[in-house]
Structure 1
Amino acid sequence: MNIFIQIFGKIIAPAANRFNRALKKPEITQKNLQKELFRRFTQSEYGKSLNIIHWRQIPIVEYQDIESCINNLTSEPIIFYEKTSGSRSAAKLIPYTKALRRSFNHMFCVWAHDLIVNGPKFSTGRIYFCISPQLTPPADVTTLQDDSQYLDGWLRAILSHFLVSPPGIQHIHNAEEFKHKLSQALLLAEDLEIISIWSPSFLKVILDYIYSHHKQLAESLKTKISAERYNLLLAPPEYSKLWRHLKLISCWDSANAADGAQTLRKLFPGVLVQGKGLLATEAPMTIPLIPAKGCVPMLDEVFFEFEDEKGNIHLLHELKKAEVYEIIISQKGGLYRYRIKDRVRVTHFYHATPCLEFIGRTQEISDLVGEKLHSEFVRQVLDNLPLAETNFKTFIPTHIPTARYILLLDTANTDTLELAEKLDTLLQQSPQYRHARLLDQLAPASIIVNPHAAEILSLHKTREGKKWGDLKHDILNTVPINRELLSELSNVF
Structure 2
Amino acid sequence: MHNFLLRTSKHLLHPAFNSFNHALHQPEVEQERLKIKIIQRLIHTHYGQSLGITKNSPWSAIPIVSYEDFSPWLEQQQTSPTQSIITNEKIRSWQQTSGSSGASKQIPYTHGLLTAFTFMFAVWAYDLLHHGPDFRTGKTYACISPTFGDRPGGIDDTDYLTGPLRWLSSYFLVRVGNHFSDGDTFRWVLALALLQNPDLEIISLWSPTFLTVQLAFITQNRHALIAALGDRLDDARRKALATEPINWLKIWPQLKLISCWNQLFAREQAGILQAYFPGIFIQGKGLLATEAPITIPLIKAGGFVPLVNQIVLEFMAADGTIVDLSNLQTGQIYQLIISTPGGLYRYRLGDRLQVSHWYLKTPCLALVGRGDRVSDLVGEKLTEEFVDQTLRDLALVDGDGLRCLVPVPGPQPHYVFYLSPTAMMAIAGEEQTLAQRLDHSLQRSFHYRRARQLAQLGPVQVRTDGYPHWLTQGRWGDEKGYCLRIPPSNLV
Q: State the TM-score, normalized to the length of structure 1.
A: 0.91
Give the SS at the match of 1:5: helix
Q: CA deviation at 1:42?
A: 2.1
Task: Determine the structure 2 residue equivalent to 1:193.
Answer: 201
Cα deviation, residue 471, structure 1: 9.3
Aligned-residue offset at 1:228: 1.9
Paired letter, 2:484: L
Amino acid at match of 1:164: V
8 Å CA contact 1:200, 1:251 repeated in 2:
yes
SS at match of 1:148: helix
1:89 corresponds to which residue? 102
Q: Structure 1, residues 232-282: CA drift from partner, whole Å, max 9, x if none?
A: 222232111111100111111111111111111111111111111111111
Q: 1:290 to 1:217 in 2, by over 3 A?
A: same
Equivalent residue runs for 1:56-455 within 5 Å: 56-70=60-74, 71=77, 72-138=85-151, 145-166=155-176, 169-236=177-244, 237-387=246-396, 391-392=400-401, 393-399=403-409, 402-410=412-420, 411=423, 413-414=426-427, 415-449=430-464, 453=466
CA apart distance, 1:138: 2.8
**How high is the TM-score relative to the length of structure 2?**
0.91
Aligned partners of 1:469 and 1:270: how far apart in 2?
46
Could you tell me whether the CA contact under 8 Å between 2:260 and 2:284 is conserved in 1? yes
SS of equivalent residue, structure 2 residue 329: coil
1:222 aligns to what SS in structure 2? helix
In structure 2, the CA distance between the partners of 1:460 and 1:20, relative to structure 1 (3 Å rule), is: closer
How far the C-alpha of 1:208 sits from its partner, in A, is 0.8
Task: Give 1:449 shift.
Answer: 3.2
Asked if the contact 1:385/1:419 (under 8 Å) is kept, the reply is no
Which structure 1 residue ranges, 5 or more long, are not aligned? Answer: 486-493
1:10 paired with 2:14, answer no
Tell me the CA shift for residue 387 of structure 1: 3.3
* Shift, 1:417, TM fit: 2.4
Give, in angstroms, the shift of residue 440 of structure 1: 0.6
Offset at residue 189 of structure 1 (A): 0.7
SS of 2:178's partner is helix
SS of equivalent to 2:199? coil
1:446 aligned partner, one-letter code? Q
Structure 2 residue identity aligned to 1:9 = K
Q: Structure 1 residue 480: deviation in Å?
A: 7.6
CA contact (8 A) 1:250 1:274 kept: yes
Residues 21, 390 of structure 1: alpha-carbon distance in 2 compared, 3 angstrom cutoff: closer
Q: CA deviation at 1:88?
A: 4.4
CA distance in 2 between partners of 1:116 and 1:128 (Å): 16
Q: How far apart are residue 147 of structure 1 and its match? A: 0.6
Contact kept in structure 2, 1:366 and 1:479, CA below 8 Å: no
The AA in structure 2 aligned to 1:99 is G
- CA distance in 2 between counterparts of 1:404 and 1:204 reads 15
Measured against aligned partners, the alpha-carbon deviations of 1:260-308 in whole angstroms (never above 9, x if no partner) come to 1111111111111111111111111001111111111000000011111
* 8 A contact 1:394–1:409 mirrored in 2: yes
Deviation at residue 38 of structure 1 after TM alignment = 1.4
The code of the aligned residue for 1:265 comes to: Q
Q: Distance in 2 between matches of 1:481 and 1:33?
A: 34
What secondary structure, in the 3-state scheme, does the structure 2 residue paired with 1:342 have? strand
What is the alpha-carbon distance in structure 2 between the residues aligned to residue 305 and residue 399 of structure 1?
A: 31
Structure 2 distance, partners of 1:401, 1:119, is 29
Give, as a single letter, the amino acid of the residue that structure 1 aligns with 2:412: T
**Kept in 1: contact 2:73–2:86 (CA 8 A):** yes
What is the CA-CA distance between 1:390 and the residue it aligns to?
6.8
Q: Which moved more, 1:51-60 or 1:77-86?
A: 51-60
Contact 2:259 2:284 in 1 (8 A): yes
Q: CA RMSD of the aligned region, Å?
A: 2.3
Deviations 1:161-186 (A, max 9, x none): 111013xx312121001001101100
Aligned AA (1:12): L
Q: Which residue of 2 aligns with 1:24?
A: 25
Question: How far did 1:153 drift?
Answer: 4.3
Conserved? CA contact 1:126–1:164, under 8 Å: yes
Contact 1:41–1:336 (8 Å) recurs in 2: no
Offset of residue 137 of structure 1? 3.3
Aligned residue identity for 1:284: P
Query: Which is further off, 12-21 or 231-240?
Result: 231-240
Cα distance, 1:386 vs structure 2: 3.2
Can you list the C-alpha shifts for 1:437-482, whole angstroms capped at 9, x where unaligned? Answer: 00111111122235xx4xx45x5467xxx66799996210122899
- Contact 2:30/2:309 (8 A) holds in 1: yes
Distance across 1 between alignment mates of 2:397 and 2:312: 47
| Partner amino acid, structure 1, of 2:365 | L
Offset of residue 427 of structure 1: 0.5
